Amino acid sequence: MKFPKDFLFGAASAAYQVEGAWDEDGKGVSNWDVFSKIPGKTFEGTNGDVAVDHYHRYKEDVRLMAEMGLESYRFSVSWPRIMPNGDGKVNKKGLDFYNNLINECLKYGIVPFVTLYHWDMPQVLEEKGGWTNKATIDAFVKYAETCFKAFGDRVKHWITFNETIVFCKSGYMSAAHPPAIENDQKKYFQATHNVFVAHAKSVEVYKKLKQYGEIGITHVFNPVFSIDNNEENVDAAEHANNFELYWYYDPILKGEYPEYVSNILKERNVLPDMTQDELDVLKRNADNNDFIGLNYYQPMRVAKNHDINSNEKQSPTGAAGGVYFDGYFKSVVMKDKKYTKWGWEISPEAFVDGTKMLKERYGDIKLYVTENGLGDIDLIIEDEILDVPRAKFIEEHLRAVKKAISEGVNLKGYYAWSVIDLLSWLNGYKKQYGFIYVDHNNNLARKKKYSYYWYKNVIETRGEEL
Ligand code: BGP
């Protein structure tokens, strides 16, 4: 089977991870500019000051994408580049950069798929409480509207937020992302609620502008499975799905929170403050979402946790294993499963099962895989980058996407993470994901990898040979 004609083969990046130019052309300081410079916070102190210099080399990068036959490029806009102070005055040079990038994509017929928030927030707003401050909601909506108006004549695919669970949990529970707060459940859940409201309000604004494009949100997709049929493990998996999945998908797609989680948060006294108006905005806009973006890397295998004093916490960098912060369940590394060098499970099968779970709970909402890929240390022999495991990983997952489509799941595109090697938030440049290699010892020169040619062929043949 070939992939359907309207299925987009893409690849992705995010502003902080590729652009660099952190203080050029009027860009404001972001929370990541500040956080990445706190000693000990990132791998070997790496930061995005230069990253892979996409800001200056976007023309070369887009040309390489075009030569690969890429149909769509998912990238993010840096909020502090557009609004240096978070709210208020717009930086014209910031708009220019994205206008140029978008036009460059369109020149080659590459569809721009734009994320508004891939974690870099204006530092000014972070200092005022970031996502725990309701004023951030309005600031974001203004920023979103500015982007719709500036780019919406050419951009027809919008993602509001990337992975709310990651930046909120890492920001307020594990202190692994800004604002580096630890174990504050009240703030964690408050931040998630405020993000959902900002999303819904932005969707509403977008629909009122009648630009006739589509808008949605990208979530981590980590479907949870019990390790066996034991009742208490099955119950633990359901608890995990409620907290890790339904809490994120329900307010977007059903316009309300899963009662199971709300009740527990009430008992713990950490239910977010929410007004009736905010709840109404969520409800009103549930049907306005055109799609959900899924960032799929791995599922979670879960068992009931019996050791409430266990200090084996879940890893902030995503490796399987460890106890959830409320002590109820633990993620389990299983002998019969495969894992990457960073301990992430490799399971294309779980993707298929997971999308069926989604279909059952949320119906036929359109889906895109907005990220999927293999973080690896690529093999280099005589200057050739032989990232065969990456091609194999993507092949297995594209086959899973095919299978899900043939079983009736409404999937319309696949974006490999990442188009080019880039800065991993917490793993520096060591963990590679790209089709294009960046030589850090040679002035950031670009080079096509094995997977580049492989993906080019997949796109040309529309996946028929997979
Ligand atoms: C996702 C993020 C990406 C990217 C990817 C790989 O959570 O949306 O920005 O970083 O994960 O993560 P890592 O670099 O930690 O391997």
**Residue 310 clears pLDDT 90, i.e. is over it:** no
CA–CA separation, 387 vs 450, rounded Å? 6
Type of residue numbered 344: W
- Residue 1 located in a structural domain: no
Of all protein residues, the one whose alpha carbon is nearest to atom 14 of ligand 1 is 424
46 — phi, psi (to 5°)?
Answer: -65, 150
- Ligand 1, atom nearest to 220 Cα: 7
* Mean pLDDT computed over every residue of the chain: 97
Q: Residue 231 Cα, ligand 1 centroid: separation in angstroms? A: 33
In angstroms, the CA 203 to CA 154 distance is 18
> 163 CA to middle of ligand 1, Å?
10
Please count the structural domains in the chain.
1
Reported as a pLDDT band with limits 50, 70 and 90, residue 202 is very high
- Nearest atom, ligand 1, residue 297 CA: 11
In angstroms, what is the span from residue 208 Cα to ligand 1's centroid? 33
Bridge partners (DSSP) of residue 345 are 339
- The residue whose CA is least distant from atom 10 of ligand 1 is 424
Mutation probe of ligand 1 site: the residue of 159, 417, 426 with most atoms within 8 A of C-beta = 417
Neighbour tally for 147: CB within 10 Å: 22
The reply to whether 2 falls in a domain is no
Report if residue 304 sits inside a domain: no
Residues with CB under 6 Å of ligand 1 are 14, 17, 162-163, 166, 295, 317, 371, 375, 417, 424-427, 431
Atom of ligand 1 minimally distant from the CA of 163: 8
CA of 284 to the centre of ligand 1 (A): 31
* 314 located within any domain: no
Decide if 340 is inside a domain.
no
Measured from the CA of 166, which atom of ligand 1 is nearest?
Answer: 7
371 is catalytic: yes
Ligand 1 center to 275 CA (angstroms): 33
298 within domain boundaries? no
In a domain, 331, yes or no: no
Does 309 map to a domain?
Answer: no
Checking if the pLDDT of 87 tops 90, the result is no
- Pair 108, 61: CB distance under 8 Å: no
- Structural domain including 391 reads 8-293+346-460
Choice from 425, 426, 431 to test ligand 1 binding pocket (greatest atom count within 8 A of CB) = 425
H helices within 90-184, ranges in order?
92-107, 123-127, 135-151, 164-172
The CATH number assigned to the domain holding 437 equals 3.20.20.80
**Residue 424 Cα, ligand 1 centroid: separation in angstroms?**
6
Catalytic residue among 371, 395, 460, 464: 371
Confidence grade of residue 308 (pLDDT, cut at 50, 70, 90): confident
Render pLDDT for 34-76 as a digit per residue (tens, 0 to 9).
Answer: 999 999 999 999 999 999 999 999 999 999 999 999 999 999 9
pLDDT for 63 equals 98
Q: What is the CA radius of gyration of the chain?
A: 21
pTM greater than the 0.85 cutoff:
yes
Q: Atom 9 (ligand 1): residue with closest C-alpha?
A: 14
- Give the C-alpha separation, 175 to 167, whole Å: 10
pLDDT score at 309: 84
Please give the structure tokens belonging to residue 299.
Answer: 């599922």
What pairing do the DSSP bridges indicate for beta strands 300-304 and 380-381? unpaired
